A and B are shown apart, each in its own frame.
Chain A
Amino acid sequence: MGIEYITILIVASLLALMAIGIPLGVTTLLVSLGTAILYFGERAGFFLVAANVTEVLHKYELIAVPFFVFMANVLERSGIAHTLFESMAILGGRFRGSVAVQTTIVAVILAAMSGIMGGEIVMLGLIALPQMLRLGYDRKLSIGIICAAGALATLIPPSVVLIVYGLAAQVSITKLFAASAVPGLLLASLFITYILVRVRLNPAMAPIYDIPETGLPFFSRLKFLTGAVLPAVLITVVLGLIYGGIATVTESAAVGAVGALVVSAIQKRLSWTMMRDAMRQTVLTVGSIIWLVLGAVSLIGIYNRIGGGDFLRDLLGSLDIAPILVIVVMMLIVMVLGTFLEWIAILFITVPIFAPVVADLGYDPIWFGVLFAMNIQIYYLSPPFGPACFFLKSVTKDIELQEIFAAVLPFIALQAVGLFLVLFFPQIALWLPSMLGN
């Protein structure tokens, strides 16, 4: 049987097994064990799977994942976000759409502290959404901004998505972090522009915010800045360690985790229970991610050995279109997969195949990593499997999933605009790493 049929068979069985709800890690292990045994017999097939799976545990960079997850959990449980939101709201003052804009800015700050998506959306859903609805903000605008801005956690560094991409594509995680900062801010400013334009066109969407503190003169409002100072210090420390090259990404993540504990201690919110719960939540999250990685890595090793990688590279290479369109095709594939697959699964299926082609075509794999992470932003929102929407749904009782899906559509369009801007103007991503390199 030719490799093209094997490929179709592998993809079909993956999809069928996933569709009936078998955990993705089990699905990939099952398919890789099956393929390995058919190709190499039991003894050699078993060895191949075992060797590749065990190697995952030797990947030093992967250790940053539990650290960033823990940091996010501490931030979520310690109320740091709540304080931050309050002080931003008061500092921001009154103008039409101010609360929606402040929500976006708070999301960006939280994103610069947290490497995973989820906690942020839950927090914003609990704090910002009731606020906006109470003030009479348009429901769809409010819901959409929380999902879209909350998803920025994995585009603005630090980001677990970029760490795993760096591992799969074998490129520098530090450079990926540097390259994704500006595109992250680009998306945030697209969101803010969109809000301001919408509320200007239709003032009924956003009544003026009216709490007594915002009426104070600017200098009196400055004292509310304290809530934002500690988070700012934490961001500076973590990103400073990474960009300044003082510590590896893994070590910076550890310092960040300790820092998050220190910040919550200063705000008198550190408790044994909080720490314990944050740690247990980390175990559950990381424990589920690792089996997905194990299965995916084993599948890739076997698929490469039977010539699958070469086959797909030749297939993509033989496309008779301009190189940039090859990238566009890749992005469309990721987008389609993003409607129904988990991000790690998408990453491990596509990146090992795409990354060498990207390099062959003469493009920078760092830039491609940023495009990938921006595409994952779309994945978070796009129905039917839109994790950001699920997260928001989990904290709001009176909003249907259908309404959330409808609300995020304009933001998906904005994300796509951002994606194509970076696609056609790579300097947006590559400017900062080239500056830091000198």
Chain B
Amino acid sequence: MSKFLSRYAAAMDRASVFIGHACSALFFACIAFSALEVVMRYGFDHPTSWSIELTMALCAMAWVLSVGYVTERNRHISITMLELMVGPRVWHWFRLMQILAAIVTVSVFAMAVWDPALRVFSRPEYSGTALNSIQPSLLKVLILVGAILYVLQLLANLVRWVQGTEKASTHGH
């Protein structure tokens, strides 16, 4: 069982990091499309109708799906003032509480975005603009996928906490 769990944690970590790295390519595409729009408008006097909606969809995808990577690296912003006050042993148990609270919250959150996400499969929602893209439906599904990824990576972090193989958290803003 323990072996299975540590294999799960390792596999989940790899998946999260892989998706996270893929997200960096998405951001790069966003930058390219936005810069291109400026060139099209001023260089060729020919603004595109798709640039903004496509950029928003790609960016949204990147920052929702990067959640596993962020969680794997323990980069979610939190206040760690008490760490110095309570000492490492007590803080270790605080870590457990933080992981459990996050698992519960994000699971409930996933339930909250569940219905809207499934609804778009029976009744797709379009942007209604000139492009009339499927972007609104896409975002509703994405946020559910993001929440599920978040929970799965939190479970991996929980396994690491139990097995004493947690990664050091890194500061970041």
Partner-B contacts on A (CB < 8 A): 17-26, 29-30, 33, 45-47, 49-51, 53-54, 57-58, 60, 62-63, 66-67, 70, 116-118, 241, 246-247, 250-251, 253-255, 257-258, 276, 279-280, 282-292, 340-342, 344, 384-385, 387, 390, 394
Asked if A53 and B105 make an inter-chain contact with CB atoms under 8 angstroms apart, the answer reads no
Contacts of A47 in B (CB 8 A): 112, 115-116
Q: Mark B143-168, 1 if CB is under 8 A from A, else 0.
A: 10000000000000000000000000
Asked if B70 and A284 make an inter-chain contact with CB atoms under 8 angstroms apart, the answer reads yes
Least CB distance, B132 to chain A, in whole angstroms: 15
Least CB distance, A78 to chain B, in whole angstroms: 16
Alpha-carbon separation in the docked complex, A57 to B104 (Å): 23
Q: Does B108 contact A (CB under 8 A)?
A: yes
Q: Does B14 contact A (CB under 8 A)?
A: no
Asked if A255 and B106 make an inter-chain contact with CB atoms under 8 angstroms apart, the answer reads no
Asked if A276 and B24 make an inter-chain contact with CB atoms under 8 angstroms apart, the answer reads yes
Asked if A283 and B116 make an inter-chain contact with CB atoms under 8 angstroms apart, the answer reads no
Asked if B38 and A251 make an inter-chain contact with CB atoms under 8 angstroms apart, the answer reads yes
Contacts of B173 in A (CB 8 A): 116-118, 285, 288, 342, 387
From 1 to 58 in chain B, residues with beta carbon under 8 angstroms from any chain A beta carbon are: 20-21, 23-25, 27-28, 30-35, 37-38, 41-42, 52, 55-56
Least CB distance, A278 to chain B, in whole angstroms: 9
Asked if A340 and B139 make an inter-chain contact with CB atoms under 8 angstroms apart, the answer reads no
Question: Main secondary structure on chain A at its contact with chain B?
Answer: helix
Asked if B79 and A24 make an inter-chain contact with CB atoms under 8 angstroms apart, the answer reads yes
The chain B residue sitting closest to A257, CB to CB, is B31
Further pairs besides A251-B37, A254-B38, A258-B32: 15, Cβ < 8 Å: A17-B101, A18-B79, A21-B94, A21-B95, A22-B97, A22-B98, A30-B105, A33-B105, A50-B112, A57-B143, A66-B63, A117-B173, A282-B24, A284-B172, A287-B63
Q: Interface centre among B31, B67, B104, B139, by most A CB within 10 Å?
A: B31
The chain A residue sitting closest to B61, CB to CB, is A57
Instruction: Tell me the number of A-to-B contacts counted with CB atoms below 8 Å.
Output: 199
The chain B residue sitting closest to A33, CB to CB, is B108
The chain A residue sitting closest to B36, CB to CB, is A254
Q: Does B171 contact A (CB under 8 A)?
A: yes
User: Given A21-B79, A290-B63, does the pair A247, B69 have CB atoms closer than 8 Å?
Assistant: no
